[in-house]
Amino acid sequence: MRVGLVCYAYPPQNGTGGVGTYMFRLAGALGRAGHQVHVISGPSDLGVTPQPNVTVHRVSAVFDLKTRSKSLRWLYWHTLAPLMSWSNPRIWHLIRWDLATEDAIYDVDARYGLDIVEAPEFAGNGWMAGRIHRWPIHVRMHCPWELFVRINRMPFNPMNRLLGHLERKVMANYPDVITVPSLAMKAEAEKSWRLRRPVRVIPNFMDIPDAATPLPDEDGPQRIVCVGRIEPLKGQDTLCRAFAMVADRHPRAELWIVGPDSWGGKVPFAQMLTRLVPDPAVRARIHMTGQANLTQIEQHLRGARVSVVASIGFESFSLSALEAMAAARPMVVTRTGAIPELIEHEQTGLVVTPGSAYEMAIALDRFLRDRAFSEACAHATHASAKRRYDTRRVLPQMLEAYAEAADFYQGAPRPMPQPILKPFAA
């Protein structure tokens, strides 16, 4: 099968988040299974990570009107484009990239002959593929832009509305199959979205090691590791306050925050630490690594005593939690979005109230002082990841979704299967 993946974010690329990570793992899994994969993605100056049977086509966000009218072209370049860029440069860049993919999709299809195309709902990345629609289309709904704007309490901007409208247009008109990574995201999608197809739940996945990595020795650093973009939604400020509460009790404990500082506003997160953690000796034990690739993230987690997902807003899945599960780390997570579907309280981790530094400190203290409980949770979380989220278990479900898309595209829809995921009771 020849699969086209259309997604702006694709590693290695600065700022790649969960959508890009999912696409990277999907492409690699499909390629290893013998399928030919063509990824149409955004620009990058970081080279290419080789994957078997995967070809990456980098497309710049360069778009010009396809018209001979000099007047329309003048209006576009001197009125519309400057206004859109002034309103929100990031969103205008993403929309220009969507428009630029049209020629790239036509070219890849002409050269290789695609059998199916997958795109995320993110930023309307499936817009041009949907307009072409020569093949079945699978749209993966990760976390819509308008939901991201709402949970981060971003100030009003008409470009946010425009991008949200574009995502809704894609979801209402183009998919032959729609999948989401969790029951929480399914409920969110069905609550207020007009969708062309029913929603099917297929979890995110990765290659889970066969054996659990042992926890670090007691006589070395006891690292608390939190992976993800540093932004208000991710709750790193709560984690820092919690760490300050337990630091004196656990002198070997260190806090490692892995990810780019995207806090926003006039003050970066690093400068906020003085207020969050007044004690300079404790602040010296907080390490911020900046942007990290998937290999570096894996290394950080393998050296962790505890992993934390401190989110205070909706999480449609949490790849950070899955990566910690794969590394066999005991986890402290917050009760938000889909996270309780991954982590079972007192079995694979400890689930706390979002934004509660006090509850998080209690959970951290328990893991740091109770080695036996930590090891039990570590083995349980690794077993859960292996059983539910390993590539070999989930990829067949994705191929089944592709077959469903093909049936619907050809006019022979098949019945929807029941979701395989059941949320844990936190």
* Residue 414 belongs to some domain of the structure: no
Residue 65 is predicted with a pLDDT of 76
330 confidence band (pLDDT: 50, 70, 90): very high
> Could you list the residue range(s) of the whole structural domain that residue 54 is in?
2-206+393-409
Is residue 178 helix, strand or coil?
strand
Distances (CA, A) of 247 to 23, 91, 269, 361, 367: 38, 41, 20, 10, 13
Nearest to 354 by CA among 261, 228, 238: 238
Residue 423 is predicted with a pLDDT of 43
10 with 158, same domain: the answer is yes
Distance of alpha carbon 269 from the chain centroid:
21
Q: Which runs of E-coded beta strand occur in 80-221?
A: 116-120, 137-140, 177-180, 199-201
Distances (CA, A) of 205 to 37, 99, 118, 390: 18, 30, 16, 6
Q: Residue 280: phi, psi to the nearest 5?
A: -65, -30
* Residue 187 belongs to some domain of the structure: yes
150 with 232, same domain: the answer is no
Distance of alpha carbon 291 from the chain centroid:
15
Percentages helix, strand, coil for the chain, rounded to the nearest 5?
Answer: 45, 15, 40
Beta-bridge partners for 139: 119, 178
* Residue 165 belongs to some domain of the structure: yes
* Separation of alpha carbons 138 and 349, rounded Å: 34
Residue 375 is predicted with a pLDDT of 96
Higher pLDDT, 267 or 374: 374
* Tens-digit pLDDT profile for residues 206-236: 999 999 999 999 999 999 999 998 988 899 9
177 with 235, same domain: the answer is no
Contacts of 270 (CB under 8 A, 6+ apart): 261, 288
226 with 185, same domain: the answer is no
Answer yes or no: is pLDDT of 420 > 50: no
173 with 270, same domain: the answer is no
128 with 230, same domain: the answer is no
Distances (CA, A) of 182 to 72, 228, 271, 341: 45, 19, 35, 8
123 with 27, same domain: the answer is yes
* Separation of alpha carbons 8 and 42, rounded Å: 4
* Tens-digit pLDDT profile for residues 99-158: 999 999 999 999 999 999 999 999 999 999 999 999 999 999 998 888 877 766 667 788
Higher pLDDT, 15 or 326: 326
Tokens of 130: 């949907």
* Separation of alpha carbons 26 and 258, rounded Å: 23
* Residue 329 belongs to some domain of the structure: yes
141 with 248, same domain: the answer is no
181 with 51, same domain: the answer is yes
169 with 298, same domain: the answer is no
* Residue 376 belongs to some domain of the structure: yes
Question: Count of domains in the chain?
Answer: 2
* Residue 151 belongs to some domain of the structure: yes
| Cβ count within 10 A of residue 367 | 27
Is residue 375 helix, strand or coil?
helix
CB 146 within 8 A of CB 278: no
Residue 262 is predicted with a pLDDT of 85
341 with 377, same domain: the answer is yes
pTM of the model: 0.89
- Whether omega before 12 lies within 30 degrees of 0, making that bond cis, reads yes
192 with 274, same domain: the answer is no
Mean pLDDT of 72-94: 84
Mean pLDDT score of the chain: 91
* Residue 53 belongs to some domain of the structure: yes
* Residue 284 belongs to some domain of the structure: yes
CATH number at residue 143: 3.40.50.2000
Mean pLDDT of 354-381: 97
Beta-bridge partners for 39: 5, 56
Residue 14 is predicted with a pLDDT of 64
* Tens-digit pLDDT profile for residues 50-61: 999 999 999 998
Mean pLDDT of 376-397: 97
Residue 421 is predicted with a pLDDT of 45
